[in-house]
Amino acid sequence: MDLHEALSDYKLNLSLVENKSKKTIEAYMSDLTHYIAYLNQKNINNVEEITILTVDTYLNSLTKEYSSNSINRVLASVRSFHKFISLNHESIKDPTLYIHTHKHNEHLPIYASVQDLKVLFDSFSNSDIDIYHKTILLTLYSCGLRVSELCSLKRNDVHLSEKILKVTGKGDKERIIPIVDACVQQMELYLNLVRKNWQKKALPNFFINQYGRVLTRQYVHNLIKKKCEECNLNPNLSAHSFRHSFASHLLDGNADLRIVQELLGHSDIQTTQIYTHIQNKRLVNAYDNAFQSFKKKEDD
């Protein structure tokens, strides 16, 4: 069976039988068009010629440019295609039956060290704009907020006398987060010296800019990029890196993993466990560094 004919039949099936959305069909077709172009380059023009080795070689060819998640998405498209063909043509076997998904690459999150954060927070002056910027970043870090949670934080959700704030996170789940004294003091400074002068109308948001408008995520991202460059910090630090740092530093201080999970608003403890891998990696690095000089002497 000709590959392009098979692809045309599969596309009709997605549309007329499975009633897939236009975007879903486009996604499948994009993956399969790339797949068939690869097969044609290998002089494979018929479905019957495709073997398990053919599919496996194709998937391996994607590893240089695709993440494991993307490869598994492509595999899902290819598998669905071959399943449809084999079900409708008994003589054609499905070569994807014994193909396994690619393991996910575990990318450890980028975080800032305590020393990095000290350099950052010590770099601000007492000007209104610097008070504003320091309050943004200190709240982001010391409360472990997502940048969207920071920007949508309401004035009525911040209770400085009780040293807590209420956050509405993913899935409209609410959580209570304690505010450390340094952040309480910085927030009070911002409210008393800056925000009241910038407010043009009664906005409910805690953070507003000098034009009286709501803080945006893009503003936070640009601020972090600018400060990293100014303080000679890792240029890959992002708004989410502050949240990673919050979790990592809590665990360094022997906080219980379940408490960190609750503070971050993770629904699954496995999501929080990534930070234990950061600790393990740092432990290994510290061990290697500690014995580096001993190794050199031994080699001598």
Q: Which residues are catalytic?
A: 146, 170, 240, 243, 266, 275
Taking the C-alpha atoms of residue 137 and residue 141, their distance in angstroms, rounded to an integer, is 6
171, two tokens:
């899935």
In the block, residue with structure tokens 């010590």: 122
CB atoms within 10 A of CB 130: 13
Taking the C-alpha atoms of residue 176 and residue 51, their distance in angstroms, rounded to an integer, is 55
Angle, alpha carbons 299-291-277 (nearest 5°): 130
Taking the C-alpha atoms of residue 271 and residue 267, their distance in angstroms, rounded to an integer, is 8
CB atoms within 10 A of CB 153: 22
Taking the C-alpha atoms of residue 225 and residue 238, their distance in angstroms, rounded to an integer, is 7
Taking the C-alpha atoms of residue 17 and residue 11, their distance in angstroms, rounded to an integer, is 10
Under the phi-then-psi rule, with left for phi > 0, alpha for psi from -120 to 50, and beta for the rest, what region is 228?
alpha
